[in-house]
Amino acid sequence: MAFLRALAISARIVVVIGAMLAGVMLIGIAAARAEITIATVGPMTGAKAWMGEQYKWGVELAVAEINDRGGLLGQKLRLVISDDACDAAQAVSVAQKLVNDGIVFVAGHYCSHASIPASKIYEKADIVMISPSSTSPILTDEGGANVFRVCGRDDE
């Protein structure tokens, strides 16, 4: 139970940090948006769906709290929840769809082997990605300047 609570808290932290980063990026955009669309991606189906559910709950709570306080830059956050099932090929497809849909920030992916290939898509599109749980050193060692994590690495 403590692990699940920690996972939900970690997801909330990721969204708060990511929303602030997305806000900084959006300050330079002249046209006002009615809402800022962000995404979370994780294992909503498959063997790790129980973790994805906790992760989703934490992100939804963070977005609700931000919106209850007036949003970000006076604009509400709209959350898109996507499922990569901790599968690399599915993660790449999801990442490309999110880029095409104009997402400005991604909280996720959950599994390192899904995060790493998806991060390449976000890097090319200049979208901030923060993973709450991907522990492979490759994610940030080979990831772009827009790829972050809020957990330890396997080599620590």
Residue 69 inside a domain? The answer is yes
Residue 104 inside a domain? The answer is yes
Residue 154 inside a domain? The answer is no
Q: What is the tens place of the pLDDT at every residue in 93-144?
A: 999 999 999 999 999 999 999 999 999 999 999 999 999 989 888 888 887 8
Domain of 81? 2-26+35-149
Which CATH number is 44's domain given? 3.40.50.2300
pLDDT score of 21 more than 60: no
* Total domains, the chain: 1
Residue 121 inside a domain? The answer is yes
Residue 143 inside a domain? The answer is yes
Helix axes 112-125, 88-100, angle to 10 degrees: 30
The whole-angstrom separation of Cα 92 and Cα 50 is 22
**Rounded to two decimals, what is the model's pTM?**
0.79
Residue 80 inside a domain? The answer is yes
